[in-house]
Amino acid sequence: MKKNAFPPSIVNLLLKEGQRWKVNGTMREALGTGIIPIVASARGGKTSLAYVMIDYVIKHTSRPVILDSFPQKVIDEGIPEHWKGRVSNQKFSDLALINEPAVWLLDDNAVHYNSRDSMTNSSKLLARAAGVLSHFGGGMTVIFTTQLLSGIDLSFLRFTTLAPVIRYIDSDVINQERKEWRGVVQQGQFELRKVCKDYRLRDYFYSSKDSILCPAPFPDFLNKELDPVKADYLSRPMRYHEEKDRLAMITGEVKRAKKGRPRKGEE
């Protein structure tokens, strides 16, 4: 994968701050901090593209990668060999404890960061984090996947550099998009339909900031024909959480064991 494999707005956030790369014959220095939202409906290729971006970070930078709240089993057994030693699974709530210019992946975040659930700690955390990503760890980048930008608290998108990526979005839900983003999403669908042969438009993605269509590579480590077990680890990582952790993801509560009465002689 070449250093200019992605459009400039995306490379600008994936490379470490100050790292140089060439754009149209001119050298640029990367900003190295901001947010890359990848927007698509289910099975629209959000996660696979996010993994390609992470692979780019592994190959072209020294930045650590954090897969937000991924099960330890996936980190131990599911990630590619060349990722090992570079990838961890801290929670995004631990953002202030990270002292390196990390790249975060927040995957399938509608459960955690839904803007309609504005009173949740996660939503408040993201709203606060957007303005300080450039200050922590020498500058951090967040890649997050979502089925619709209206499912994300707008505060998260307002105070930092963005490089949105548009993939296939079901026509029935586009009208539910925020008015600020609806035109961008519709333009992306129009551009994708001009070139894509896959019925879910997965052979290209649209970089809205650059107004560029790009071929969407599919990594070998997600190919179920090559290694179905490892491919499933990364395709559906959250299924490998323990039951109590899966419940906590949905309810926002940690189930605690009930305390029974002490038996006679145990008081």
Classify 177 in phi/psi space as left (phi over 0), alpha (psi -120 to 50) or beta. beta
Asked if 143 and 112 count as a contact pair (C-beta separation under 8 A), the reply is no
Closest to 185 in 3D by CA, of 167, 201, 203, 198: 167
Nearest to 71 by CA among 88, 59, 54, 49: 88
Q: Tens digit of pLDDT for each residue in 99-122?
A: 999 999 987 544 454 444 443 444
Residues making up the chain, counted from first to last: 267
Q: What is the pLDDT of residues 19-41, one digit of tens each?
A: 999 998 999 999 999 989 999 99
pLDDT tens digits for 65-82? 999 889 999 999 999 999
Closest-CA residue to 220 (of 234, 207, 206): 234
CA quadruple 240, 243, 244, 250: dihedral, nearest 10:
80
Rounded to 5 degrees, what are φ and ψ at 224?
-70, -20
Non-local (6+) Cβ contacts of 266 within 8 A are none
Q: List pLDDT tens digits, range 221-267.
A: 999 999 999 999 999 888 888 887 777 666 655 544 444 444 455 44
pLDDT above 70 (res 61): yes
pTM of the model: 0.86
Residue 52's pLDDT is 97
Per-residue CA distances from 21 to 14, 17, 40, 55, 259 (Å): 11, 11, 29, 17, 59
CB atoms within 10 A of CB 88: 14
